[in-house]
Amino acid sequence: MSLMEKDMDVIKTSLILAIAITFYYLLLQWPQGSDMQANNIYEDNKRLSIDSSEYLQTKPLLQPNDTPSLSAMTEQETVEDVNVGGVVFTIENEDLILEIDGSNGRIFKSLFKGVKETLGSEKPLPLLGADNQNSYFANSGFFDDVKNSYIYPNFTKVVSAENDDGSVTYIFSGESEGLFLTKEITLAEQGYEIKVEDGIRSDGNRESTNVVPYAVIESESPQKKDLGFFSPERFAYHGPVFSTNQEKYEKYGFDDLLDESYSETSSGGWVAIIQHYFLTAWIPEQSNENKLQGRFTGSNQRFSVGYTGEKMYLQPGNAVFSSNTLYVGPKLPEQLSKIQADLSLTVDYGFLWWLGKPMYWLLNIGNSLFNNWGLAIIFLTVVIKLLTWPLSAKAYISMGKLRELQPKMALLQEKHGDNKQAMSQELMEMYKKEGVNPLGGCLPMLLQMPFFLAFYWVLLETVELRHSPLFWINDLSDMDPYFILPILNAAGMFLSQKMTPTPPNADPMQAQMMKVFPLVFAFMFAWFPSGLVLYWTMNMAIQILQQWWYSRKTV
């Protein structure tokens, strides 16, 4: 066997291994955290630690204005001298339902109107409070820095108001030890953005004090879910994320918090707990200095992520306020970037983000054109194949020339018989003379790999594909229920192999491996998300058309 032939065998073997490793890599569990979310709290010079039992009694507040800061009070409802403890208030917009504990203002449950819990169900998907009222919730308020304790408001009044822009504001108010406390929650007409403002005012008889604003997300220890091995949710990151001036997007998993708490000071920033397709995030005022923190409290088995703001000096008769934005919803890059530029980084496309972002952009264009995410995937595939056409064309032209040389190859094989070394040398000379690259047919497969990997991450992060149908497929984020796409893909691979000329000196072992490859792909793709298999199958179909077209031109 000649040196050149050996090099070709090495390259072929390496290509097969690279493809196998690529698919194995897709099955690895990438940065894993636990399965849910949580919170506790922190410190501002001192450690602010919130015990869950104590926290259930606490209630942050919102804006303490004599005149609520609403653009228009078109509708008002006041509950005079009534203790609203234990009362649950439900507010909603076109996309979101929130349940708020009237005794403390805690947002303990969220439901997504347009996102169903399971395929075919009419039950909205919960995020906050998915298991029970205390399992996962968000809160904000003030900490008394002098007394080293949380300020627990006793809300006795609730005011609701509709603003000119269609948003609805709820104001909870109450008094506690000479302090007037308010919590103002505003929900826009659409979307998942929640404006929260906490306020506190001291009466004239109380001593001056320092208060520290905080916001937190708290959850019980995550519960592992029973997921299929190929389920995209199995490979998606679940856990806390922090954004600071130094690190715009830092994953700090639940396992990390078990080992060591997180604490960083930053101007602006945000904290979040993300999971497959969804997230909960607190975004403070970006002009303020904030301490971002995360920890695990062993006594109540809870994780906490949140932040404390700058210390505020509260004088008798004066009021101070703290404003935040809470996001509870799906990972929608456009909405997230409008709230805070770096918040869209929670839509994580991995190390191939530079391919993933334009692919998602093309998907959106395709969906806007065809109003179907499955057709959008086909649109994306066609666009990518058009962009890579010039490179693929060279490979197919080389394959066509190789096909033309097959009669001469047969003569060489007949001439040299079992003398493979002499045959290989003469064959290589003929390739060189005719300007043919026998490995040119590998290029289309190599070109597909980065796009395939990038689209897998796009599929992991694109919530719009969840429960999106196409023809017989009910959910593009789940496997093909009838295995039609894996079978079509295997058939396409067999056909492509038949159309690809095989050199007479090809290694029989490699040839057998290539014949088995379509069956291996079919088995793997049977459990892969159908959206991903659709992308690969369309790629294969276009590749076959390209091969056929260029084989005609070279005949």
Mean pLDDT of 317-344: 93
pLDDT band per the 50, 70, 90 thresholds, residue 504:
low
Same domain, 10 and 51: no
Residues in the chain: 555
CA 523-524-527 angle, to 5 degrees, is 100
Same domain, 364 and 414: yes
Q: How far is CA 504 from the centre of its chain?
A: 48
Q: Which domain holds residue 495?
A: 3-28+354-554
Q: How far is CA 337 from the centre of its chain?
A: 14
Over 50: is that where the pLDDT of 350 sits?
Answer: yes
More confident: 339 or 172: 339
Residue 140's SS3 state is: strand
> Residue 90 corresponds to which tokens in the numbers above?
């439900």
Residue among 169, 200, 194 nearest 182 (CA) = 200
Q: What is the mean pLDDT of the chain?
A: 76
**397 in a structural domain:** yes
Residue type present at position 96: L
pLDDT band per the 50, 70, 90 thresholds, residue 146:
confident
pLDDT band per the 50, 70, 90 thresholds, residue 157:
confident
Over 80: is that where the pLDDT of 60 sits?
Answer: no
CA 150 → CA 61, 86, 197, 352, distances in Å? Answer: 12, 20, 17, 45
Mean pLDDT of 113-120: 84
Q: How far is residue 351's CA from residue 343's CA, in Å, rounded to a whole number?
A: 18
Would you state the pLDDT for residue 8?
A: 43
CATH code, 211: 2.70.98.90
Q: How far is residue 544's CA from residue 407's CA, in Å, rounded to a whole number?
A: 23
First to last CA, the chain: 31
Q: How far is residue 140's CA from residue 367's CA, in Å, rounded to a whole number?
A: 38
Same domain, 370 and 323: no
Q: Where are the alpha helices (DSSP H) in 388-442?
A: 389-404, 406-416, 420-434
CA 167 → CA 62, 194, 492, 502, distances in Å? Answer: 17, 10, 53, 67
Of the three residues 329, 344, 379, the one that is the final residue of a domain is 329
CA 363 → CA 154, 195, 249, 271, 369, distances in Å? Answer: 49, 31, 24, 29, 10
Would you state the pLDDT for residue 379?
A: 95
Would you state the pLDDT for residue 65?
A: 32
pLDDT band per the 50, 70, 90 thresholds, residue 44:
very low
Comparing 89-93, 256-260, 288-292, 534-538, the range with the smallest average pLDDT is 89-93
> Residue 383 corresponds to which tokens in the numbers above?
């666009």
Would you state the pLDDT for residue 506?
A: 57
Same domain, 93 and 192: yes
Residue type present at position 47: R
More confident: 4 or 540: 540
Same domain, 418 and 446: yes
Would you state the pLDDT for residue 553?
A: 56
Same domain, 321 and 449: no
Same domain, 515 and 547: yes
Asked if 67 contacts 319 with a C-beta cutoff of 8 angstroms, the reply is no
Would you state the pLDDT for residue 33?
A: 33
Cβ neighbourhood burial of 104 (10 Å; 0-12, 13-18, 19+): buried
Would you state the pLDDT for residue 198?
A: 92
**17 in a structural domain:** yes
Asked if 474 contacts 433 with a C-beta cutoff of 8 angstroms, the reply is no
Residue among 197, 150, 159 nearest 41 (CA) = 150
pLDDT band per the 50, 70, 90 thresholds, residue 373:
very high
Contacting residues for 288 by C-beta, under 8 A, at least 6 apart: 267, 268, 309, 310
pLDDT digits (tens, 9 = 90+) for 420-477: 676 677 677 776 666 666 655 566 667 778 888 888 888 888 999 998 999 999 999 8
Mean pLDDT of 188-192: 91
Asked if 288 contacts 265 with a C-beta cutoff of 8 angstroms, the reply is no
**98 in a structural domain:** yes
Same domain, 71 and 195: yes
Same domain, 307 and 443: no
Would you state the pLDDT for residue 118?
A: 82
Same domain, 309 and 400: no
Would you state the pLDDT for residue 78?
A: 28
Over 80: is that where the pLDDT of 277 sits?
Answer: yes
Q: Which residues of 134-146 are buried (b: 16+ CB within 10 A; e: fewer)?
A: bbbbbbbbbbbbe
pLDDT band per the 50, 70, 90 thresholds, residue 403:
low
Comparing 61-75, 138-152, 269-283, 485-499, the range with the smallest average pLDDT is 61-75
**387 in a structural domain:** yes
Over 50: is that where the pLDDT of 13 sits?
Answer: no
Centre a 10 Å sphere on the Cβ of residue 126 and count the other Cβ atoms it contains: 18
Over 50: is that where the pLDDT of 43 sits?
Answer: no
- How does strand 302-308 pair with strand 136-144? unpaired
Mean pLDDT of 54-68: 31
**247 in a structural domain:** no
Comparing 7-16, 37-46, 123-132, 352-361, the range with the smallest average pLDDT is 37-46
Same domain, 48 and 124: yes
**336 in a structural domain:** no
Would you state the pLDDT for residue 174?
A: 81
Q: How far is residue 361's CA from residue 454's CA, in Å, rounded to a whole number?
A: 13
Q: How far is residue 363's CA from residue 32's CA, in Å, rounded to a whole number?
A: 27
Mean pLDDT of 300-327: 90
Over 50: is that where the pLDDT of 42 sits?
Answer: no
Would you state the pLDDT for residue 168?
A: 85
Over 60: is that where the pLDDT of 35 sits?
Answer: no
**244 in a structural domain:** no
Q: How far is residue 277's CA from residue 336's CA, in Å, rounded to a whole number?
A: 13
Same domain, 443 and 309: no
Q: Give the DSSP per-residue string, 142-191.
A: EEETTTTEE----EEEEEEEE-TTS-EEEEEEEEETTEEEEEEEEE-SSS
Mean pLDDT of 222-242: 72
Q: How many domains does the chain have?
A: 2
Mean pLDDT of 505-533: 77
Residue among 528, 519, 534, 529 nearest 485 (CA) = 534
Predicted model pTM: 0.76
Helix axes of 508-525 and 484-499: crossing angle, nearest 10 degrees: 160
**218 in a structural domain:** yes
Would you state the pLDDT for residue 192?
A: 95
Mean pLDDT of 84-113: 81
Over 60: is that where the pLDDT of 9 sits?
Answer: no
Mean pLDDT of 488-499: 83
Give bridge partners of residue 293 from the DSSP assignment: 263, 306
